[in-house]
């Protein structure tokens, strides 16, 4: 069964540094998402992406965050200047079609640790 893949599995960075989290969604999927999960807390929506543009974003997704689909397969999340509170598990997800009925297909996540 096709999977969403995320790299790296763990990223350690210093406060103020830029990080790029990478995702390869399932190949024929059209809608892409980033969620994050701070340890012990709920899974929070960051951003959704469709047709090469952001379709929706949450309050968390401020100017420090950006997403890109540079080559038709990768889907990246960039944090320009990391803060301690950005430490979390970041999940990429994709679905074939919109409308809400399709469940999300998640990757295994990238654990980001900001020191």
Partner 1 sequence: AQSVAQPEDQVNVAEGNPLTVKCTYSVSGNPYLFWYVQYPNRGLQFLLKYITGDNLVKGSYGFEAEFNKSQTSFHLKKPSALVSDSALYFCAVIRSGGSYIPTFGRGTSLIVHP
Footprint of partner 1 on this chain (CB under 8 A)? 4, 6, 9, 33, 35, 41-45, 48, 56, 91, 93, 98-101, 103-109
CB nearer to partner 1: pick between 16 and 96: 96
CB nearer to partner 1: pick between 72 and 100: 100
In whole angstroms, how close is the CB of 71 to partner 1 at the nearest point?
Answer: 22
Residues 14, 114 contacting (CB under 8 angstroms):
yes
Residue whose pair of structure tokens reads 């990768």 in the numeric block: 74
DSSP 18: -
DSSP 1: -
In whole angstroms, how close is the CB of 54 to partner 1 at the nearest point?
Answer: 12
In whole angstroms, how close is the CB of 45 to partner 1 at the nearest point?
Answer: 5
CB nearer to partner 1: pick between 69 and 111: 111
Cα–Cα distance, 60 to 74 (Å, whole number): 22
Q: Write the CB contacts of 87 (distance below 8 Å, at least 6 apart in sequence).
A: 38, 112, 113, 114
CB nearer to partner 1: pick between 65 and 106: 106
Start-end of H helices in the chain: none
């Amino acid at each position: 069964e096709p999977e969403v893949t995320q790299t790296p599995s763990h990223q350690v960075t210093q406060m103020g540094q830029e990080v790029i989290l990478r995702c390869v969604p399932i190949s024929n999927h059209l809608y892409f998402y980033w969620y994050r999960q701070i340890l012990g807390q709920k899974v929070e929506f960051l951003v959704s992406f469709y047709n090469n543009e952001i379709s929706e974003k949450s309050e968390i997704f401020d100017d420090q965050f950006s997403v890109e689909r540079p080559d038709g397969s990768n889907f990246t999340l960039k944090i320009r200047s990391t803060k301690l509170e950005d430490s979390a598990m970041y999940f990429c997800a994709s679905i074939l079609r919109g409308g809400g009925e399709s469940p999300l297909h998640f990757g295994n996540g990238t654990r980001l640790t900001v020191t």
